[in-house]
Amino acid sequence: MEYLPILVLVLSFVVLLAIGTPVAWSIAISSVLTMLVSIPVLPAFTTVSQRIGTGLDSFALLAIPLFILSGELMNKGGIAHRLIAFAKTLVGALPGGLALINIVSAMLMGAIAGSSMAAASAMGSILGPEMEREGYSREFGAAVNITAATTGLVIPPSNVLIVYSLASGGASIAALFLAGYIPGILTGLFLMIVASFWAKKKGYKVGERSSFKQIFKTFVDALPSLFMLVVVIGGIVVGVFTATEASAIAVLYSLLLGLFYKEISFERLPKILLDSTSTTAIVMLLIGASMSMSWALSYENIPQEISSGLLGISDNKIVILLIINLLLLFVGIFMDMTPAVLIFTPIFLPVVTKLGLDPVHFGIIMVLNLCIGLCTPPVGSVLFVGVGIANTTIEKVIKPLFPLFIAMIIALLLVTYIPQLSLWLPSLFDL
């Protein structure tokens, strides 16, 4: 039966998730079951096991644990406090000042640490109580924090963009990193507009205007942290080092910075290393399992079937991109970002390249799209972190979250249909 592998894959994956099986194991088990449609039991198990192992055998993937470690060091190293102080002097006097501070700080944190979880945790624990003291509702503060934290996955350095580079078969990491800046900043600006209107409507308190002296002082305090951008991204773009080498430099730089700020001590290092190792283990298991599913899909010719099906619906680029965006928004509700990128890139990339879309542009569309899924139940990891830190419930956060979702979707549509928003910066550097 032509559609039996697709049916087995989808049904087994959904059922496994529904009964509470961890995502990584759901992916691996459904991959085995899909392979059993065509080959005997022993080769199916052996092949999936091999693909989990060989899927992790990549020099580029070494950047992920190192960027995770550098993110942990930055989160514990006092960097968040300095970025918040700088953001406060820039936008604190605008309507919804504290909400805007959260968004700007999250964008800066993402541009340095590249972790939505780190940004949501840091900004929520530092700014959440302050927003409540100033009269902001707890739910609005959580909604702003949750959506703003995802901008760090588009603004480089981003682990997900490295994963996409691997899944796409070699899209330039340097080009992807540069391509993420304008879409990430654009998303942040749309979130700021919505947050400002909401705060003005609710009559939330406006902060005092900062003097040039205060702005300059906080900028100088944050400058060593911001210099990480120049070191890491500048080095990759100019070609001084690879993304993997840049991640090692990021670890060393963030460690030295934390020791310089006296926020990190050698006694605290084992706990930081343990936390980053735990996160790395989860991410790597997801990547390995997703690579096995990606191979199973390819073996069963499922990407070709879906590609033919989509192109059979229409050959209009606008229509196809709209369908793919809707499918990815649906996927993001039920699947974490890393496995979604690894599984669906081989499916959708051949379709969009036939329509003349640049793989770098599609990578930004995909990541920006799946960022929305991180803010939605039942699998949205950033949603649960933000709600947990704010000590509230998902039901209460949905109302203030909805207009921020709309802002993210508008940004996604602009990035989807205006390629230069993604491709202009890489083209400046001939990437």
Phi then psi for 397, rounded to 5 degrees? -85, -20
What pLDDT score was predicted for residue 179? 93
pLDDT at 323: 92
Q: According to the model, what pLDDT value does residue 308 have?
A: 78
CA distance 218 to 87: 9
pLDDT of amino acid 114: 61
What does the alpha-carbon distance between residue 420 and residue 181 come to, in Å, rounded to a whole number?
A: 12
Structure tokens at 44: 């199916």
Instruction: Write out the two tokens for 207.
Output: 């902060």
Q: What is the pLDDT of residue 420?
A: 94
Q: Show me where the domains of the chain are located.
A: 59-284+301-428
The predicted structure's pLDDT at residue 418: 94
Mean pLDDT, 10 residues at a time, the chain of 431 residues? 76 85 85 86 87 81 83 76 82 80 82 68 77 84 89 84 87 90 93 89 76 87 82 81 84 87 84 85 84 82 77 84 91 82 88 91 94 80 81 85 93 95 90 77
Helix, strand, or coil here: 1?
coil
Q: What is the pLDDT of residue 77?
A: 74
What whole-number distance in Å separates Cα of residue 102 and Cα of residue 150?
12
For residues 125 and 109, is the Cβ–Cβ distance under 8 A?
A: no
The per-residue DSSP string of 295-337 comes to HHHHHTTHHHHHHHHHHHH---HHHHHHHHHHHHHHHHHHS-H
Radius of gyration of the chain (CA): 22
Residue 17: per-residue pLDDT: 80
The amino acid that residue 404 corresponds to is L
pLDDT of residue 314: 80
Phi-psi region of 263 (alpha: psi -120 to 50; beta: other; left: phi over 0): alpha
* CA angle (51 as vertex; 371, 343 as ends), nearest 5: 25
- The pLDDT of residue 187: 94
DSSP at 61: G
In the numeric block, which tokens belong to residue 94?
A: 């605008």
The Cα 64–Cα 163 span in angstroms is 9
Place of tokens 């921020």: 404
